[in-house]
């Protein structure tokens, strides 16, 4: 498995607008080979930002890389904009990709 994460430092007061962008966009992920799941995470609040992370799980790194080269990727990111025109972020999102080395699940958890 491969986990792809982007970390966003969202300006104070822009959290609702940021979340709306994500909730209302067409992601196209569900139709991609190798896509497993997506999470939008809200983290700690600092003086100058609220930390968020988008987190996708893929069957392997090759599936993620195929996504980044796809027309669906271009369409999803072309529409992931903020209608107000003002940046919601401090700086650019920071990408982090991880190969899964080990997974542990509760026995009763859904697969």
Where do we find the tokens 């990709």?
97
**Does 87 reside within a domain?**
yes
Phi, psi (degrees; rounded to nearest 5) at 41: -110, 140
What domain count does the chain have? 1
Q: Give the pTM.
A: 0.82
Contact between 60 and 34 under an 8 Å Cβ cutoff? The reply is: yes
Predicted local confidence at residue 15, as pLDDT = 96
Instruction: Give residue-wise pLDDT tens across range 52-101.
Output: 999 999 999 999 999 999 999 988 877 555 555 568 888 888 999 999 99
Q: Which domain holds residue 24?
A: 2-54+62-92
Q: List the CATH number of the domain containing 15.
A: 3.30.70.100
């Amino acid at each position: 498995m491969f986990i792809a994460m982007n970390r966003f430092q969202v300006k104070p007061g822009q959290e609702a607008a940021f979340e709306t962008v994500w909730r209302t966009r067409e992601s196209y992920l569900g139709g991609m080979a190798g896509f497993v799941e997506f999470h939008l995470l809200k983290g700690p609040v600092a003086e100058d930002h609220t930390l968020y992370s988008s987190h996708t799980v893929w069957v392997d790194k090759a599936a993620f890389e195929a996504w980044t080269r796809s027309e669906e990727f271009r369409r999803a990111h072309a529409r992931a904009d903020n209608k107000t025109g003002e940046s919601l972020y401090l700086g650019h999102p920071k990408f982090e990709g991880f190969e899964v080395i080990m997974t542990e699940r509760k026995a009763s958890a859904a697969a």
